Chains A and B, each alone.
Chain A
Amino acid sequence: MNWSIVEQVFLKDLQELSKNRYVFYSMLLLPVLLVSITIINIYSAVSSPPVSLVEISFLISTFSEIIILIPAIVSVLIGSTSVVIEKNNKSLEPLLATPITDTELLMGKALAPFIPAIILGFVAYGAVISSVDFLTYPVFGTYLLPTTMMLYQMFVMAPLVGLFGTFVALFISTKIKDVRAAQQVSTLAIMPLFFVLVLGSLTLASTSDLLLVLTVILVGAVIGFARLTIRQFNRESILISWK
């Protein structure tokens, strides 16, 4: 694999993305909104005493589950756009006429949504951790975040969710010609996973067994969609079947 070619596809996609205002602002809006909601809720709780540590911990746990939506939705937004734009511009034929291999094209197309999604996820987690600690330290005299659970979510679950969103978006956008339709269908496709993650965490979040089960489900889903996507990303399918 020629990583320089992968890098070029990745950089070009990011540049195109930055020129697409609709996707660019949608991508930024979601983390800002979710982080703001989290901070406002924590602030409301600590500013209306009496406040218990159990109550705050429950709030933090709930909202940290919501933050995990960021890498999934951002990767879906970018992933579906990058493939559909190529289809609409009819730029896949000249692209495939270069020395790029099918794997390099897929890697470039996968990194373009995955990396910004992970970066935005980390930034959002960072903002939540620092804001929550800033708000709760004067009340409890200790830093509540990050918890082990949150670190696990950040470094294991969030990348997996980002990968899942990426492959779902890439797979679905090979079948659809319109950017918004691809985004909507991809978002719908990742919804069941959210229910599993959020509901599972809300009910039994503290058990490490459940986390393990959720991780295994996620890994399975990532592998499944990755295989479906890899099958679609060959030059014959791209030139003949992608409409």
Chain B
Amino acid sequence: MIVASSLTRSFGSFTAVEDLSLEIEQGEIFGFLGPNGAGKTTTMRMLTGLISPTKGTAKVDELDVSLLKNIPKIHRNVGVLPEVPGLYENLSAYRNLDFYGRLYGLRDPKLRERIMSLMKTFELWERHAEAVQTFSKGMKQKIAIIRCLLHDPEYLFLDEPVSGLDPEASKTVRDFILDLKKNGKTVILSTHNLDDADRLCDRVAVIRKNLLALDTPLNLRTRMFKRTVVFHLKEADDAILQELRALPFVQSVERAGNKLVLDVNTPEDDNPEILELLVRKGYKVQFVGEVRHTLEEVYLKLVTK
């Protein structure tokens, strides 16, 4: 478990992160969202012990990241994918990974098997002996992802993991992140890709220097927007609107052609009653849907407040 309490980091007179408190549960996929310069990278660096907080504390499995003696222990349990892959361009992909594996204390034949298995997963084994400088941006990103997985860490800090990847490779990485979660790993993402955050994250923290919101994507939507359901009828008219408005859980109703658009509290509980009323009144319901507000809408509402 990762616990940050009143985490603050200043660089001279500039405060990058201020009074940030949060907890990241074991086995969850947690996303940091925020505009450029919001302090996402600084927060991730503090949580991984790469830089110290100016104020406040952060603990990874009870180990305080501010204490220098804890850093090697923390880093044995943490994998970090920085914003830039940061590979040794003149060395082969294999040698890059071999070097990092050895820093984590892995040795052949286990190390070789691990590198081979991960490179095969990411479809790069065929080119393991080639210098990284001949690789595309996406391939370098995959090597950097493999690098942070080599020592099988419990916590993975991934800064823009699908940056530079084509749609197929992005899917491979997304699926891999979901597999990591299935295996009980904790993944902390920093991303501008809100679709990915929505699809992957159990919870997201929207930050801009300090914490603007922290919740599941669904709860954030609910908090920021009402839930809207649409009933598609074979034929609709205004006669039903009054009766629908009389239902206690219906906040608003509008008709748009043969569609009835309703704001409700909990569609899971409310839809059956609405449906029953419509059927009783003789309307033919073709299908029912929910207007899903995107995480992007939630994000924009939060950061432009």
Contacts and interface: CB of A to CB of B under 8 A. Distances in A.
Interface of A: 4-5, 8, 12, 15-16, 19-20, 85, 89-101, 235-236, 239-240
B115 to A, nearest CB: 15
Given A12-B88, A91-B87, A239 B50 contact: yes
A4 B99 CA distance: 11
A20 B90 contact: yes
B103 A98 contact: yes
Contact of B50 (A4, A5, A19, A96): A96
Interface residues of B, number: 36
Query: For the complex, would chain B's binding face be called helix, strand, loop or mixed by DSSP majority?
Result: mixed
Given A89-B87, A101-B71, A94 B95 contact: no
Nearest to A19: B90
A8 B88 CA distance: 14
Given A5-B103, A236-B52, A97 B75 contact: yes
Interface of B: 11, 45, 48, 50-52, 68, 71-73, 75-76, 78-82, 84-91, 95, 99-100, 102-105, 131, 144, 147-148
A115 B50 CA distance: 30
A90 B70 CA distance: 24
A97 B158 CA distance: 12
Contact of B86 (A15, A19, A93, A235): A93
B51 A93 contact: no
Contacts of B48: 97
Given A16-B90, A92-B86, A97-B148, 16 more contacts: A4-B102, A89-B88, A90-B86, A91-B87, A94-B147, A96-B50, A97-B75, A97-B79, A98-B100, A99-B105, A100-B103, A101-B71, A101-B72, A236-B51, A240-B11, A240-B51
Contacts of A91: 86-88
A16 B91 CA distance: 7
A106 B91 CA distance: 21
A204 B76 CA distance: 56
A94 B82 contact: yes
Contact of A15 (B45, B81, B91): B91
A94 B144 contact: yes
Nearest to B74: A99
Contacts of A100: 72, 75, 103
B147 to A, nearest CB: 6
Contacts of A97: 48, 50, 75, 78-80, 82, 148
A96 B80 CA distance: 10
A238 to B, nearest CB: 9
A96 B49 CA distance: 9
A240 B14 CA distance: 13
B89 A15 contact: no
Contact of B82 (A8, A90, A101): A90
A19 B82 contact: no
